[in-house]
Structure 1
Amino acid sequence: MSAADPVRTGVVGTAEAPLTLDGAPPRTLGLADTLGLWANLGVSLLLPVAAVFVVLPGRPLSVTVAAVVVGAVVGSALLGAVAAAGARESVPGMVLLRGLLGRRTSWLPTAFNLVQCVGWATFEIVVIAEAASRVLGAPRWPFVVAAGVLATAMALRPLGVVRVLARYAVWTALAAVAYLFVQVLAEPLPPVGGGGATSFWTAADVVIALPVSWVPLAADYTRHVRSARAAGVGSAVGYGLATVVMFVLGVLALAAYGSAGLDVVDALLAVPLGALAVLVLVAVELDEAFANLYSTAVSAQNVVARLDRRVLAGAVGTVATLLALTLDVAAYEPFLFLIGAVFVPLAGVLIVAYWTTPRGRWDTSDTAPARPLYLLPWLAGFVAYQLTLPTYFPGPGAGWTAWWTARQADLGIDPANGWSASLVGLAVAVVLTVPVTLATRRR
């Protein structure tokens, strides 16, 4: 570290994330920054929009709220454990997986993460543009372009953006959410007649998918946090609380106004001054798009360390913006479940392996040896997830669902079992990781 380094000289406000993987990350973020960042990432219009998938039709609202709380606790605990590991090792998320799978084998989850990051960035841009167009009564496409450009620009200076989000944006967002809560709670709240959840645990699965979707990205930001404890607590508490608040807001809006899907936005617009509150949330939504674009760039550096993250972020931002111009938002629910099927088991494998490894023995170097045995519990967890609840894809993807449904029949598994696919997949992955870890250490 040179004498002019901003971290050494104390001018931490000017420190920025390194442009390539070869650069040392500044450790400038504390607990308050981490709480603010993850709370802000959790305050997203995508969550109330997705609330229709967690509503248990005909059941008391308290049951749906309980499913939201359980899902948020499980998902955020996984997020916090991986975030703390990223702070301890001071490496991005995909590089952290080198210690689990080896450098080249870690390219497999990196590929999955690149796909999900682009997908999430696209969804965020769609929701921003859709909400803005409804508030202002204008065509959607200009807002798609504007959101894509702004999110990409934010990804060029990520730590500067994190500091702004933690200190200012999160409070503005919370004020808007609190106002919407007050207005929605003033309405009668009958049980919701329609909803996408078939059981308590399928509802919880949708909620789990949201924090788990950030698990592969968490270390991209917590590598800049000064302590593992601050990283773990800040990410789990910040995102967990925001997840509960935003999902419950969506559920209450559905009950109060009888809306569904993106019509939740219309319901919130019906609130006095609702348009202003929604516009605030639309502006804050940019942070989710920015975070996914930045993490796509950082993930790609796991394969080619010397690629400039600014160039990568610009390219990914362009792709996400073009996709957002043509995206069918009806694909949102299966996308959530597929993310859970891939990353819930992987999170379980990583957490068990990492937190049972002596400190200083986790190899994230370019020469990290391959450990293909860890692919087995990950794959087993994914299979268990699909056998519990096959990811449903309409149209051309229906063959995927049909194949897994046939395997359920072969094994005598009731398709309407009502189990939590996330918890089943996680349990299988965790249990099988223990013998793999013991065998790897003996070797």
Structure 2
Amino acid sequence: MSTDVQRTSDAPLTLDQAPPRTLGLGANLGLWANLGVSVLLPVAAVFVVLPGRPLGVTVAAIVVGAVVGATLLGLVAAAGAREGVPGMVLLRGLLGRRTSWLPTAFNLVQCVGWATFEVVVIAEAASRVLDAPRWPFVVAAGVLATAMALRPLGVVRVLARYAVWAALAAVVYLFVGVLREPLPPIEGGGATSFWTAADIVIALPVSWLPLAADYTRHARSARAAGVGSAVGYGLATVVMFVLGVLALAAYGSAGFDVIDALLAVPLGAVAVLVLVSVELDEAFANLYSTAVSAQNVVARLDRRVLVLVVGAVATLLALTFDVAAYEPFLFLIGAVFVPLAGVLIVAYWTTPHGRWDTSGTAPARPLLLLPWTAGFVAYQLTLPTFFPGPGAGWTAWWTARQADLGIDPANGWSASLVGLGVAVALTLPVVLRGRRR
């Protein structure tokens, strides 16, 4: 394929077609920085605030969480670039073709959920800025994100060249406006310890782990993919969470009221509208990855048809979405995908290059389900995912298991690091056993 043709080609329509390698370091940095610049993070900032503690402690938890999560993201992104396959296909080398359908099912649910979250945030922010009903913005955001997902690589190039600079200007302007206000200690917050705050931050980059290779398979090198994703997303995560914390301190606002607080900045409405427009890239990315993930099961499905279906579903869900489910959703993502990331990273980076089998005949490796499951259990025993209402039985069951094992529910440990450590420790002997055989 000639260079000119490769530059104009977009992502393949089916899994049977080879992906073009067009994204260098700059494009990867721009893409992942854009994906990290999300209004969702300032809205979630209340969950990471340590009440009554100096702001510096909360900022430190944000930085630690971003470093851990972005490092995991970079390692998975680099693996996707080396193999040139989407995220769920990459897992064939870990679990086998058919067994990889299990994480694929989890990822499909996650992608639809995140796409719905993003459409809700876009619509809520736009309705507050323009003082208008929310539902027209839900429909508009769903339609635009779906259209973007039909031409993903073209959108990535625009994001890397233009949108990242507009987002950067808007964020800098809002930072300057917020820092002009007094910043008293925050008395209210959702974090119970330094490490529970870090866990919320870790969950954001971790939520992109199953999706990372969907984009980095188009990277020119593993280095460009790994560095671009880790640095771009990691820095953006720190910036956006800190902006939310500062707005909470300056204006005493939390949740979606943070948006109202940012609107209080002179010309803040313009800056927020820029961020709302940039937010479309997160919704588009989740819609596109839902389609690509489904192709792991049926390789010849046309991603354009899948995108249209998923876009319609996410838009309908966003019209009735309950944002109160946001925090437990983040924790559950961490519980599922942090241990899986540990298993994948250890298994992949200890396997000789060229030996990772992502074909349609990749053999099952059911033993590697054990460390993934053990990591999930360790995560829940450390910090059970809290679900209100009908889901309270899940929380109660794990809390009872904590009591059986003598684990203090207020232990303050990092569930992410505990789950990751258990998964890594149990993966090593399985991998070494396989090598000896």
For 1:296, the equivalent position in structure 2 comes to 290
Cα-Cα RMSD: 0.6
Map 1:363-374 onto structure 2 (within 5 A). 363-374=357-368
Please, what TM-score do these two structures have when normalized by structure 2? 0.99
Cα distance in 1, alignment partners of residues 137 and 205 from structure 2? 26
Q: Which residue, out of 379, 393, 397, partners 1:385?
A: 379
Cα distance in 1, alignment partners of residues 3 and 313 from structure 2? 39
Moved over 6 A (4+): none
Q: Which residue, out of 62, 71, 79, partners 2:73?
A: 79
For 1:347, the equivalent position in structure 2 comes to 341
Task: Map Cα deviations across residues 135-194 of structure 1 (whole Å, 9 max, x no partner).
Answer: 001100000000000000000000000000000000000000000000000000011110
For 2:308, the equivalent position in structure 1 comes to 314
- 3-state SS in 2 of match to 1:10: helix
For 2:214, the equivalent position in structure 1 comes to 220
For 1:137, the equivalent position in structure 2 comes to 131
Residue type of the alignment partner of 1:203: A
Cα distance in 2, alignment partners of residues 60 and 351 from structure 1? 35
Q: Quote how far apart the aligned CAs of 1:440 are.
A: 2.0
Q: Quote how far apart the aligned CAs of 1:323 are.
A: 0.3
Cα distance in 2, alignment partners of residues 32 and 12 from structure 1? 18
Cα distance in 2, alignment partners of residues 393 and 230 from structure 1? 39
Cα distance in 1, alignment partners of residues 7 and 222 from structure 2? 21
Whether 1:19 and 2:32 are equivalent positions in the alignment is no
For 2:95, the equivalent position in structure 1 comes to 101
Cα distance in 2, alignment partners of residues 151 and 427 from structure 1? 37
For 2:351, the equivalent position in structure 1 comes to 357
For 1:52, the equivalent position in structure 2 comes to 46
For 1:123, the equivalent position in structure 2 comes to 117
- 3-state SS in 1 of match to 2:46: helix
Q: Quote how far apart the aligned CAs of 1:439 are.
A: 1.7
Residue type of the alignment partner of 1:91: V
- 3-state SS in 2 of match to 1:189: coil
Q: Quote how far apart the aligned CAs of 1:69 are.
A: 0.1
Q: Which residue, out of 417, 422, 428, partners 1:428?
A: 422
For 2:175, the equivalent position in structure 1 comes to 181
For 1:264, the equivalent position in structure 2 comes to 258
- 3-state SS in 2 of match to 1:39: helix
Q: Percent same amino acid among aligned pairs?
A: 89
- 3-state SS in 2 of match to 1:338: helix
Cα distance in 1, alignment partners of residues 403 and 174 from structure 2? 46
Cα distance in 1, alignment partners of residues 286 and 344 from structure 2? 21
For 1:67, the equivalent position in structure 2 comes to 61
Give unmatched runs, 5+ long, in structure 2. none
Q: Quote how far apart the aligned CAs of 1:15 are.
A: 1.3
Whether 1:249 and 2:243 are equivalent positions in the alignment is yes
Q: Quote how far apart the aligned CAs of 1:441 are.
A: 2.2
Q: Quote how far apart the aligned CAs of 1:395 are.
A: 0.1
Residue type of the alignment partner of 2:380: Q
Residue type of the alignment partner of 1:353: A
- 3-state SS in 2 of match to 1:335: helix
Q: Which residue, out of 331, 335, 339, partners 1:337?
A: 331
For 1:327, the equivalent position in structure 2 comes to 321
Cα distance in 2, alignment partners of residues 227 and 84 from structure 1? 8
For 1:172, the equivalent position in structure 2 comes to 166
Cα distance in 2, alignment partners of residues 286 and 441 from structure 1? 45
Cα distance in 1, alignment partners of residues 428 and 6 from structure 2? 41
Q: How many residues are matched?
A: 437
Cα distance in 2, alignment partners of residues 282 and 353 from structure 1? 39
Cα distance in 1, alignment partners of residues 293 and 433 from structure 2? 29
Residue type of the alignment partner of 2:157: R
- 3-state SS in 1 of match to 2:410: coil
Task: Map Cα deviations across residues 91-117 of structure 1 (whole Å, 9 max, x no partner).
Answer: 000000000000000000000000000
Q: Quote how far apart the aligned CAs of 1:11 are.
A: 3.9
Please, what TM-score do these two structures have when normalized by structure 1? 0.98
Give unmatched runs, 5+ long, in structure 1. none
Residue type of the alignment partner of 1:81: L
For 1:199, the equivalent position in structure 2 comes to 193
Q: Quote how far apart the aligned CAs of 1:334 are.
A: 0.1
Cα distance in 2, alignment partners of residues 160 and 283 from structure 1? 17
Residue type of the alignment partner of 1:89: E
Cα distance in 2, alignment partners of residues 215 and 274 from structure 1? 33
Q: Quote how far apart the aligned CAs of 1:10 are.
A: 2.7
Q: Quote how far apart the aligned CAs of 1:9 are.
A: 3.9
Cα distance in 1, alignment partners of residues 387 and 257 from structure 2? 22
- 3-state SS in 2 of match to 1:203: helix
